[in-house]
Chains A and B, each alone.
Chain A
Amino acid sequence: MEFWKEDFYSLKFAEKKRDDTIIINIGPQHPATHGVLRVLAELYGEYIVRSECVLGYLHRMQEKMGEIKTYPQFYPNTGRLDYGHALAWNWAYVGAIEKLVGIEVPEKAEYIRVITTELNRIASHLLWWGVYILDLGAFTPVMYAFEDREILLDILQRITGSRLTYAYFRFGGVFQDIDSKFIEDTKKFCKRMHSRLNLYHEFVTENIIFKKRVEDVGIFTKDTITKYGATGPVARGSGIKYDVRKAEPYGVYDRFKFKIPVEDKCDCLARYMVRMKELEQSLSIVEQAIEGLPEGDFKNKKTPKMIKPPAGEVYFSVESARGKVGIYIVSDGGMNPYRVKLRSPTYSNLSLLDEVSKGMMLADYVATLGSLDLVIPEIDK
């Protein structure tokens, strides 16, 4: 018995195997898959004939958990969905409940939400940047990225209480107010980050080997993107100008001036550049929000102690670092939601990989997989 013939997926996949190829398992334990993604790939020499992603190694039944727990009880789980950009999921869930129950959010709380979410987005992109270059074989950039990310996590830890899996927002506000030290540190970080970005570009973006590795690699055409419903930097790297922050503004995002970076090349370099430009835009949003931070409450005092929304349904979506995060909740008027549907962006983004990977080299496949910015807990849920 060969190892790849032992389970359902492998059996199905091996049915169409050609005689001159080998089938390999990329993952669930493999340095390039950043977690427990498993890819079955049929290799002809160095070329991939076809590939198939196998999911479910980290399935935790988050949607079912949403149904059997009360609204506040399920809330911390949203921070565990995407460890890279947990605050976006926080916001999506909190926003959905607020919309359903009709809770007002004070202006200051909205500003705090914008600042922390954007800082978290920067942290997520920094993590991606370092690890993506690591996928391409360079060891040093990830250390540079973590050096900056560390400062950011320290800043966020002071007010949110955690470093990775946040549960900072509350229905009708945030958990606690930000103080002057937070504002000072954030300003200092933004100043530092601008010069660090120049260093990143000098060190990596202009490197000839890096350029050769990502240019014209992993082409996602507009058709593929729309067919699979990919969002976020993956879609924007293929010339689709869609960002939830602009398309369906939530919170106070309509008050800030920022651009949506779009590239038309459709390759890995385009997605790379989109994320690098988004870092700058996020920094600018943070600076604007700190500049215009209003006085007032950080939490709506009239929020009901017991969340018991009326029967009905609600959909709320936010833009995470990976794309459109959507939460759909159906309430039957009880203590628990009747149904919670979590729309994770990376699930859609990953789906297009099987089609695109045909005829790719193994090294290109790793580069393309990295450029999707996958977070496996979010895919498997």
Chain B
Amino acid sequence: MSGVEWTFIKIVIGMLLILGFIAFNAILLGYGERKISGFIQGRLGPYAVGPHGSLQMMVDMVKLMTKQIITPKKADGFLFWTAPILSFMSVPVLFMVIPFSPSFTVINSGLGIVIILAFSGLNVLALCIGGLGSNNKWSLLGAARAVSQFIAFEVPILLVVLSITLMTGTLSLSEIISKQGGFPWQWNIVLQPIAFVIMFVASLAEMNRVPFDLPEGESELTAGYSTEYGGMGFGLFVLAEYTHIVVASSVITTLFLGGWKGPVFSGIWWFLLKMYILCFIILWIRWAFPRVRFDQLLNLSWKYLIPAGIFNLLATALLVKLF
């Protein structure tokens, strides 16, 4: 077989595996979120379906899929239904470039991090047209919030990624991992602690998680951009949200925590372990904090994270030049 065909087959197989992985993760995180919130709030969480409620998510999936698909009367049907599909469509591409381990990398692109930054931006487009197409004022407010929040927090992420690439001299995720060692003190987090904090906070804001879940802000905007959605339209948004948690955790693992490298037996398990610990922290934060106000959110980015990011970038450039 020629090289082109082999690459094509690899991408198709990888795509299928990734779709399975996404579905698995959505179920795992959905179940995890309910159990963790139950644990934090002193209750049991789902318990009725399957042992310890482990099949609850399957039942919920069936419920979402079998619900009647309703388009509001005055909504723009095309935009209204493009939004959830678009929101979910970009997600598999994000996984293509993530190096889970040396052998589990679908596309070993030299521009991995750029692809992730580019395609994760599609999510906000989905929220925007979903909010606009719903013809609902709450949705519109949610969409407006989503756009300004995304723009505000994309900048610090770019600054952080720039400092990492300056340090490692590459945009390829596999190479960024290979420049880090197996032990914690050999990871980028030690060299770039400020960058890690900025990246983590900005990622929380990018994927609309508490304390930055303003676009859906339940007590203010009823449900924000997803007010008019029900059934699988809503389901796709949720699926995309959970997948973005996994993607963000994977990117942070890759950039800062040494990826698939561990002190012993380096491999995919180390990657998954670090990724799920980050996912757990993100879920944990959700159940412990109130929501920030909109101006406070933007101030956090423009007044604190971006100056810190610029400072970090300059310091990195200087140190790279010196050593």
Contact = CB atoms under 8 A, between A and B. Distances in A.
Contact of A361 (B137, B210, B294): B294
A139 B213 CA distance: 13
Contacts of A144: 41-42
A354 B243 CA distance: 43
A22 interface: yes
A134 interface: yes
B137 A213 contact: no
Contact of A137 (B41, B43, B137, B217): B217
A82 interface: no
B18 interface: no
A137 B210 contact: yes
B290 interface: yes
B272 interface: no
A56 B219 CA distance: 22
A140 B288 contact: yes
Given A31-B222, A136-B219, A212 B42 contact: no
A31 B40 CA distance: 23
Contacts of A22: 137, 140
Nearest to A370: B219
B166 interface: no
B294 A210 contact: no
Contact of B290 (A24, A30, A43, A133): A133
B: contact size bracket: 20 to 34
Contacts of B289: 137-138, 207, 209
B241 to A, nearest CB: 16
A207 B138 contact: no
Interface residues of A, number: 29
Contacts of B286: 139
B137 A366 contact: no
A140 B291 CA distance: 12
Q: Which residue, of A46, A207, A364, has the highest number of chain B Cβ atoms within 10 A?
A: A46
Contacts of B218: 31, 137
A24 B293 CA distance: 19
A37 to B, nearest CB: 14
B287 interface: yes
A143 B43 contact: yes
B292 A213 contact: yes
Given A137-B213, A137-B217, A212 B222 contact: no
Contacts of B294: 46, 361, 363
A210 B290 contact: yes
A147 B222 contact: no
A363 B43 CA distance: 29
A207 B140 CA distance: 31
Nearest to A362: B220
B34 to A, nearest CB: 12
B233 to A, nearest CB: 20
Contacts of B213: 137
B220 A363 contact: yes
Contacts, number: 80
Interface in A181-226: 207, 209-210, 212-213
Contacts of B287: 139-140
Interface in A40-55: 43, 45-46
Interface in A228-280: none
Interface in A338-373: 361-364, 366
A209 B286 CA distance: 13
Nearest to A147: B42
Given A209-B211, A209-B290, A32 B220 contact: yes
B292 A143 contact: no
A139 B37 contact: yes
Contacts of A363: 217, 220, 291, 293-294
Interface string A113-150: 00000000000000000000111111110011001000
B103 interface: no
A137 B42 contact: no
Interface in A134-171: 134-140, 143-144, 147
Contacts of B140: 22
A366 B141 CA distance: 15
A24 B141 CA distance: 11
B295 A137 contact: no
Interface in B189-220: 210-211, 213, 217-220
Contact of A207 (B210, B220, B221, B290): B290
Contacts of A32: 219-220
B68 interface: no
A207 B286 CA distance: 14
A366 B211 contact: no
A212 B296 contact: yes
A251 to B, nearest CB: 36
Given A143-B42, A144-B41, A209-B211, A138 B290 contact: yes
A364 B293 contact: yes
Nearest to A133: B290
Given A24-B138, A136-B219, A362-B220, A209 B40 contact: no
Nearest to A214: B290
A46 B293 CA distance: 11
Interface of B: 37, 40-43, 137-138, 140-141, 144, 210-211, 213, 217-222, 286-296
23 contacts: A22-B137, A22-B140, A24-B137, A24-B138, A136-B290, A137-B211, A137-B219, A137-B290, A139-B41, A139-B286, A140-B37, A209-B211, A209-B292, A210-B290, A212-B292, A212-B296, A213-B290, A213-B291, A361-B293, A362-B141, A363-B217, A363-B220, A363-B293
Given A139-B41, A363-B217, 20 more contacts: A24-B138, A30-B222, A32-B220, A43-B141, A135-B219, A136-B219, A136-B291, A137-B211, A137-B213, A137-B290, A138-B288, A139-B287, A144-B41, A144-B42, A209-B211, A209-B289, A212-B293, A362-B221, A363-B220, A363-B294
